């Protein structure tokens, strides 16, 4: 689909979500088990031009302390140039960088969740940032679609 049209759709969705006070989290269920979904997520992130910077093992720390937990990890990702530019021009965004997706097992399925990047437009109303948040939202939606389609 044409990039401009996708951005337009993302903008409309952002507007609708904001207007209705709708879900501010992006969340999907993959019918694949955790390892396969984790692999699909990392591939999709790369396919959309981002780099996975780290996979944080939330589950391992909890288990070591003695808490019962299923697979739970956080995947951090970003684009080097974009992060460098944001740090210089919009340092207020630094605590939200790199971007992340939480991924956890639910029986034989896997859940992926993160905040809608569009929500950041509410936090940081600078008009210059709106296009960026829209693109992030669009990319994330495509990444999640790719994970759901992966078999």
State yes or no: residue 80 binds other proteins (CB under 8 A): yes
State yes or no: residue 134 binds other proteins (CB under 8 A): no
CA atoms within 13 A on the CB side of 117: 21
The answer to whether 95 and 76 have CB atoms below 8 angstroms apart is: no
State yes or no: residue 84 binds other proteins (CB under 8 A): yes
Query: Which is closer to other proteins, CB of 116 or CB of 138?
Result: 116
List 38, 41, 45, 72, residue binding other proteins (CB under 8 A): 72
Rounded Cα distance, 47 and 33, in Å: 21
State yes or no: residue 150 binds other proteins (CB under 8 A): no
Tell me which residue has tokens 């829209």: 134
Order of strands, edge to edge, in the sheet holding 51-57?
Answer: 25-30, 109-115, 99-106, 72-78, 51-57
DSSP structural state of residue 2? -
Which residues are at the interface with other proteins (CB under 8 A)?
16-17, 19-25, 27-29, 31, 51-54, 56, 58, 61-62, 65, 67-70, 72, 74, 76, 78-80, 83-84, 87, 91-92, 94-98, 100-107, 109, 111, 113-116, 119-120, 123-124
């Amino acid at each position: 689909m044409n990039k401009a049209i996708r951005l337009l759709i993302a903008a409309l969705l952002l507007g609708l979500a904001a207007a209705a006070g709708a879900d501010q989290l992006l969340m999907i269920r993959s019918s694949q088990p955790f390892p396969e979904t984790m692999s699909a997520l990392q591939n999709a992130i790369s396919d959309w031009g981002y780099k996975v910077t780290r996979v944080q093992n939330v589950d391992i720390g909890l288990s070591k302390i003695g808490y019962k937990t299923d697979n739970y990890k956080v995947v951090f990702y970003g684009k080097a140039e974009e992060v460098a530019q944001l740090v210089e021009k919009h340092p207020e965004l630094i605590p939200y960088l790199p971007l992340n997706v939480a991924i956890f097992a639910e029986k034989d399925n896997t859940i992926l969740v993160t905040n809608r990047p569009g929500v950041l437009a509410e936090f940081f109303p600078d008009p210059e940032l709106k296009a960026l948040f829209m693109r992030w939202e669009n990319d994330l939606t495509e990444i999640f679609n790719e994970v759901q389609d992966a078999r």
